[in-house]
């Protein structure tokens, strides 16, 4: 049997303006430890903005999402425009504000947000192919926008974000550390991770639980 293959979509490098590094790395680790393979992708576009992670303040810099994501992927990454659903068994999105700033405009526009065209195309292609999609932290908001249609998912317990997700047509399910919500009909798996006040160990548990649930959907 071939190893299950995961496409991991990153959104930059750093929690405040890109992919959450712990969630990204621990997702890749969980895939590897579960016997899967992974390939990283990111949109080839400018970030919404750049944040100094020491001060939390925005800077005047301009950075590219794909270039910054390559830091996490150790250079082994492809533009999301090159993604083909036929090449992978599952798609997974680590969190971080990049999901709400670079993969979508959810951080600014809430339920009325737009989604990067390559992100939307990847999600739609996998969903139409009946292949599992996972998302951590705030990234489930992107799935809610693209899939809508009462897909069930979680961002933990934040009432404001949950209300925004439901305004996009999804159903929000409250969860705590390492819990996952599995929408069997849509083959969507989500976990709250750093949407909760979590330790790095709890993030590892959440990533591992998400990967395990995806593998179960794949019959592995």
- Active-site positions read 137
Structure tokens at 133: 């999609």
Residue 187, CA atoms < 13 Å, CB-side half-sphere: 21
């Amino acid at each position: 049997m071939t190893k299950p293959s995961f496409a991991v979509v990153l959104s930059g490098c750093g929690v405040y303006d890109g992919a959450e590094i712990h969630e990204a790395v621990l997702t890749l680790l969980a895939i590897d430890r579960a016997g899967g393979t992974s390939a990283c992708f990111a949109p080839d576009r400018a970030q919404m903005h750049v944040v100094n992670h020491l001060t939390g303040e925005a800077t005047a810099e301009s950075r590219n999402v794909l270039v910054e994501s390559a830091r996490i992927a150790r250079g082994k990454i492809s533009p999301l425009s090159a993604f083909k659903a036929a090449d992978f068994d599952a798609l997974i999105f680590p969190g971080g504000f990049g999901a709400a700033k670079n993969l979508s405009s959810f951080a600014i526009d809430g339920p009325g947000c737009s989604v990067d065209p390559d992100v939307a195309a990847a999600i739609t292609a996998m969903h139409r192919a009946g292949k599992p999609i996972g998302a951590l932290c705030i990234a489930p908001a992107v799935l809610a926008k693209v899939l809508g249609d009462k897909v069930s998912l979680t961002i933990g317990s934040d009432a404001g974000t949950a209300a925004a997700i439901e305004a996009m047509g999804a159903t929000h399910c409250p969860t705590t550390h390492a819990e996952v919500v599995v929408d069997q009909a849509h083959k969507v798996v989500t976990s709250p991770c750093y949407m909760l006040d979590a330790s790095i160990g709890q993030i590892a548990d959440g990533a591992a639980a998400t990967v395990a649930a995806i593998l179960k959907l794949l019959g592995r």
